[in-house]
Amino acid sequence: MSAESPKNVILLPQTNQLLSLYTIIRNKETQRSDFVFYSDRIIRLLVEEGLNQLPVEPKTVSTPTGEVFEGVKFLGKICGVSIIRAGESMEQGLRDCCRSVRLGKILIQRDEETALPKLYYEKLPEDIASRYVFLLDPMLATGGSAIMATEVLLSRGVKPERIFFLNLISNPEGISNYHKKFPDIKIVTGAVDRGLNESKHIVTGLGDFGDRYYCI
């Protein structure tokens, strides 16, 4: 992707370190243990960038040297909502950055008759409407599942500007589909691939993320 990302798409800096991590997880020869380890490193970077997007207010503290430090603190509480099952792989990265963070889950699967996404399960914090929400799903393909999950969040009172959609790999079609519905929601991604193939899989891609992360 060019240096000029679409509006409300935050692309991680394409450093040599990040590209080396993606080279490992995209490689079909990479063993599961390495796939998990290096995916977790990217997830941590995505969470850190998501946290960078949250609002702060000034806070002054005294240091052990007797000096005063003019710093900041986050405004409001956050929670993570994973789209089962692949999105659950991103929960630990959020926990690593945010102690005692609340988590919710949404299960969306394709209806065999209509081929459309269908909501099967949701479990969300009762106070989610007052929180900033990190929506977690490693791959943004067509955007169907993410759109439905976001509609669930909105129905529970979460404001669009409080939602941040974190994913490892996206593509222009998925971004466009998602932002047609939710133009004000920020997507935080590590890579924008060239598109979808005839099977609606991301290319270049890395295969089925959930299978590679969870299956031996």
- Catalytic positions: 110, 114, 208, 211
Handedness of CA 155, 7, 109, 80 (dihedral sign): negative
Is the C-alpha dihedral spanning 140, 141, 146, 147 positive or negative?
A: positive
The letter for the amino acid at 101 is: V
Tokens for 33, please give them.
Answer: 């243990």
Q: Pull the structure tokens for residue 16.
A: 């040599």
Alpha-carbon distance 186 to 189, whole Å?
A: 10
Contacts of 45 (CB under 8 A, 6+ apart): 12, 18, 190
